[in-house]
Structure 1
Amino acid sequence: MPDPHHPHPTGLDEINQRLAESYPTLSPQLKRASSYVLENPIGIAFQSVRKTAAAADVTPSTLVRLAKRLNFESYEQFRDVFQSAVQSAPVELSGRASKLKHQANQPEDALFVEVGDAAFDNIGRLFTADNQARVKDAAQRILAARRVAVVGFRDTFACAYHFAYVGRIAMPDVVLIRGLEGGLLTELDHFNEQDIVVAFGFEPYCAETVKALEVTRANGVQAIVITDTLRSPLVPGASVTFTVANATPHFFPSILSAITLSEAILAECVAFGPDQLVDNVASFESRMRKMGAYVEVE
């Protein structure tokens, strides 16, 4: 029976967070159901319990148990939260990719179009009302921090580098953590509760990224995590978590949504931060031009 002292979640974010927190303690069947719920909100919203159970490879009673574990009185009440969220959430850009697909007349164009379809869909999933609120929260935390450490290795190093390079133009205290020659712990040692870390990581998750978050968390550093699912080992202990879509026909996860999210967060910082940030950008550009860093086009 639902516990009246711990009411059920009222929003999709809260459901996802509770499932992510409880995931390690769930039974194998509940883990399978939970994984499906975390990764298929649209399916949960519009499928019957039997169809959802078949898709998740569990029994309908397992889904009912999962809903009651979150203190919902019924599975239908649980599903109502998903229906409300889906009806108000996404900005649909994937239709553009569908139109592009219809324009492909030659079979050899299929892969090119499929990449475009995935890219538009990934971006469309990013721009939701919930993520807009999270972007504001992340920007406020970054602006309040003394220093910002940025972490991402292997496939997400490009994300971390881009965030740190662009961010440092406006905010000189943004630092890219490289972890070269075994220096990861040394680089992170001087960050504390006055600071924040921005971490990127997609499956397969890099051990160095997980270690970096463990070290900074032990020192009281807040974390903003950009990952692919709430089951990610980067999520526990994070102050702000973004899950971004990274599906692609390519053999490596797409970083398009993570890069776009970085730009949204940094734009929010400059827009709502002190005027000094704009001055910093102007000063950087002036210095680069004086040093001949840019080629002028006449």
Structure 2
Amino acid sequence: MMRLARWLDLDRYEDMRSVYAKALRTSAESPLPERRQDGDGGYSTVGVVAGTLAAEIARLGECANAMQLIAAASVLAESRNLFSLGLRAEHPVAHHFAYTLSRLGRQAVVLDAAGGLGIDALRGVGKGDVVLAAGIEPYCRATIETARQAAHQGVAVVAITDSSVSPLARMAKASVIVISNSQSCFKSIAPALVASEILAKLIAAKSGMNVDEVVKEVERQLAELHVFWKPPDSRKRGGLAVS
């Protein structure tokens, strides 16, 4: 890839990737192509959607966006209590962020409003606490109101959102801006989901912990609880041991 970049008169592979990502983002402004009449079985649609999302995710690695992620992770890593907020379409982002962190030895409370009690976790919070809030247009009213309540109590807000002037970005101490055009009839959360994973990794790195040792210990504890499925012993057939 480096030789190809130089052949194209580019200094670095990152320059070539940036050009490619910009070209895909430009094509993302075109309407989703209709299914071809020769019966391609939807392959063209798959290619367009996959290519668009790949470009949007690759964009997170560009310098300006990487700096946003690093700045956001610095705020999150220094938190006393950490919360994760995302409702409706963005709920998987909030949940996955908390789950990924838990595998890395750090806990985040998901403000998922289960039974209408999600905001109750904000009782007693204040300066030193941080909430990661995910919101993509159309913005969920409950997400905005919960983040605003947290900010009112002195909690720092870190946003994963799609605009620097979104309601979340305007109240956030740090923001990660993602593109959510999936070339389909819905906004994609894939870039936001990837951003949350990057943040989790950065937080673990900034914590000073031995991540490898923490992961091994977490996996050991989960194995004791038989959380994950394992294939049956190959030496057994139908419950009987095979000699």
If the length of structure 1 is used for normalisation, what is the TM-score?
A: 0.63
**Structure 2 residue identity aligned to 1:290:** E
1: CA distance between counterparts of 2:103 and 2:57?
25
User: Match for 2:112 among 178, 181, 194?
Assistant: 178
Q: CA deviation at 1:197?
A: 0.4
Within the candidate set 1, 15, 18, 1:90 is matched to: 18
Normalized per residue, the structure richer in helix is 1
1:153 aligns with 2:102: no
Q: 1:144 maps to which residue? A: 78
The question of 1:195 aligning with 2:129 is answered yes
Would you say 1:121 and 2:49 are equivalent positions?
no
Q: Which runs of 5+ in 1 are unaligned?
A: 1-86, 99-103
Count of residue correspondences? 208
Question: Aligned-pair RMSD on alpha carbons?
Answer: 2.8
Deviation readout 1:176-201 (Å, 9 max, x if unpaired): 11112332332222321111000001
- Cα distance between partner residues in 2 of 1:248 and 1:96: 12
- Within the candidate set 120, 125, 134, 2:68 is matched to 134
Q: Give identity over the alignment, percent.
A: 23
Q: Are the equivalent residues in 1 in contact too, given 2:24–2:55 (CA < 8 A)?
A: no
Alignment match, 1:57: none
Task: State the distance in 1 between where 2:213 and 2:66 align.
Answer: 26
- Aligned: 1:212 with 2:146: yes
Q: Alignment partner of 2:69: what SS?
A: helix
Report the equivalent of 1:225: 159
CA contact (8 A) 2:160 2:178 kept: yes
- Residue of structure 2 equivalent to 1:286: 220
Q: Report if aligned partners of 1:159, 1:200 keep a CA contact under 8 Å in 2.
A: yes
Q: Distance in 1 between the 2:39 and 2:22 partners?
A: 21
> In 1, Cα distance between the equivalents of 2:119 and 2:198?
29
Unpaired runs of 5+ in structure 2?
1-14, 28-35, 235-243
CA distance in 2 between counterparts of 1:129 and 1:110 reads: 31
Query: What is the aligned partner in structure 1 of residue 102 from structure 2?
Result: 168
